[in-house]
């Protein structure tokens, strides 16, 4: 389908979604959230796609939810808007595809919340991240009060949420909010390299791993380990397991078919 606020590309098993509202620093209005939702569905339903990249055009990844649009919302409209945002982030989190966030600039408010729903996050050195909602007299509405403490711990999360202080990419990396930082001009090359590497793996297993980690961290260790045992066993019904082990024994590179 044709999109207005995003650009989607598919190449070599990698689906790239670029948010394309640079005039508003890629702020998330309702239309953009809907388009992102459709794009996430489309990539997830495309058998050829193994991994997705999310990035922004211009100097922002996403500078937050659209403040102009939010400024006149009634409580009911705010609820619907928050539900839309949560729906999108759950879709990314529950997608079979690993999502890599390429943070090319500002990732504030809703933008920081989007990156936290992704699986791997690489930031350009010049990126700025944070949850500045408190400066607008609100608190995060797309999961920031929940995912941030799970990622960086309660104390650090509360400091960032309560002060609304933005941090640079290196600090974000030091607290575990992003995986690594790279020089700005190396961002897409680095992210594409990681995506390329993942795209060669068994997509059954990339799906299992993502799902096990996401489900496992929210339940007790015993139940989580039982879940791992059952996924592990079902992996042995796949051709990819047979191919992976056969290739090892034959001293060659495996060719995974995702079955
Ligand atoms: N929304 C709408 N427009 C935005 C925007 C945003 N979040 N961020 C920037 N823009 C627009 C600016 O208004 C400006 O538009 P024009 O004036 O040219 O028409 C254009 O983008 C360029 O921005 P600046 O001129 O400000 O650019 P600078 O380089 O000077 O500054 C900046 C960049 C990122 C420091 C600054 O733009 C800024 O502080 N932006 C706002 C950052 C922010 O506060 N982000 C958090 C947004 S709040 C909820 C649902 C969701 C949420 C909360 C509750 N419920 C329903 C309960 C989520 C909330 C948020 O994300």
The residue whose CA is least distant from atom 15 of ligand 1 is: 24
Q: What domains can you pick out in the chain, each with its CATH number?
A: 6-199 (3.90.226.10), 203-249 (1.10.12.10)
* Ligand 1 proximity of 141 Cβ (cutoff 6 Å): yes
pLDDT exceeds cutoff 80 at 33: yes
For the segment 116-145, the average pLDDT, to the nearest whole number, is: 98
The residue whose CA is least distant from atom 40 of ligand 1 is: 63
* Ligand 1 proximity of 172 Cβ (cutoff 6 Å): no
Question: Is-catalytic flag, 250?
Answer: no
For the segment 39-65, the average pLDDT, to the nearest whole number, is: 98
For the segment 29-51, the average pLDDT, to the nearest whole number, is: 98
Ligand 1 probe mutation, 19, 28, 67, most atoms within 8 A of CB: 67
* Ligand 1 proximity of 65 Cβ (cutoff 6 Å): yes
pLDDT in tens, 210-256: 999 999 999 999 999 999 999 999 999 999 999 999 999 999 999 99
For the segment 141-167, the average pLDDT, to the nearest whole number, is: 98
Q: What is the pLDDT of residue 2?
A: 87
What DSSP letter does each residue of the chain carry, written as one string?
Answer: ---SSEEEEEETTEEEEEE--GGGTT-B-HHHHHHHHHHHHHHHH-TT--EEEEEESTTEEE--B-HHHHTT--HHHHHHHHHHHHHHHHHHHHSSS-EEEEE-SEEETHHHHHHHHSSEEEEETT-EEE-GGGGGT---SSSHHHHHHHHH-HHHHHHHHHH---EEHHHHHHTTSSSEEE-GGGHHHHHHHHHHHHHTS-HHHHHHHHHHHHHHTTS-HHHHHHHHHHHHHHHTTSHHHHHHHHHHHTTS-------
pLDDT in tens, 90-120: 999 999 999 999 999 999 999 999 999 999 9
pLDDT exceeds cutoff 80 at 1: no
For the segment 165-177, the average pLDDT, to the nearest whole number, is: 98
Question: Is-catalytic flag, 200?
Answer: no
- Catalytic member of 9, 83, 113, 185: 113
pLDDT in tens, 64-92: 999 999 999 999 999 999 999 999 999 99
For the segment 199-206, the average pLDDT, to the nearest whole number, is: 97
Mean pLDDT, the chain, integer: 98
Q: What is the pLDDT of residue 230?
A: 97
* Ligand 1 proximity of 143 Cβ (cutoff 6 Å): no
């Amino acid at each position: 389908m044709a999109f207005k606020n995003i650009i989607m590309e598919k190449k070599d098993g990698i689906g790239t979604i670029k948010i394309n509202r640079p005039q508003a620093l890629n702020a998330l209005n309702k239309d953009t959230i809907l388009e992102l939702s459709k794009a996430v569905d489309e990539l997830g339903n495309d058998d050829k796609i193994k991994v997705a990249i999310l990035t922004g055009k211009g100097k922002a990844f996403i500078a937050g939810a659209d403040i102009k649009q939010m400024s006149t919302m009634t409580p009911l409209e705010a609820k619907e808007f928050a539900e839309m945002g949560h729906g999108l982030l759950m879709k990314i989190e529950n997608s079979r595809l690993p999502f890599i966030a390429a943070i090319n600039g500002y990732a504030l408010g809703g933008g920081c919340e989007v990156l936290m729903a992704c699986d791997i996050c690489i930031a350009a050195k010049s990126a700025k991240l944070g949850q500045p909602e408190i400066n607008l007299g609100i608190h995060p509405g797309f999961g920031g009060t929940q995912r941030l403490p799970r990622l960086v711990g309660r104390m650090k999360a509360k400091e960032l949420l309560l002060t609304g202080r933005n941090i640079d990419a290196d600090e974000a990396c030091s607290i575990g909010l992003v995986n690594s930082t790279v020089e700005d001009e190396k961002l897409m090359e680095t992210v594409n390299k990681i995506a390329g590497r993942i795209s060669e793996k068994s997509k059954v297993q990339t799906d299992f791993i993502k799902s096990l980690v996401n489900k496992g961290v929210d339940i007790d260790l015993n139940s989580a380990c039982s879940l791992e045992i059952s996924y592990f066993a079902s992996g042995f019904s796949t051709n990819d397991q047979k191919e992976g082990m056969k290739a090892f024994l034959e001293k060659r590179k495996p060719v995974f078919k995702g079955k």
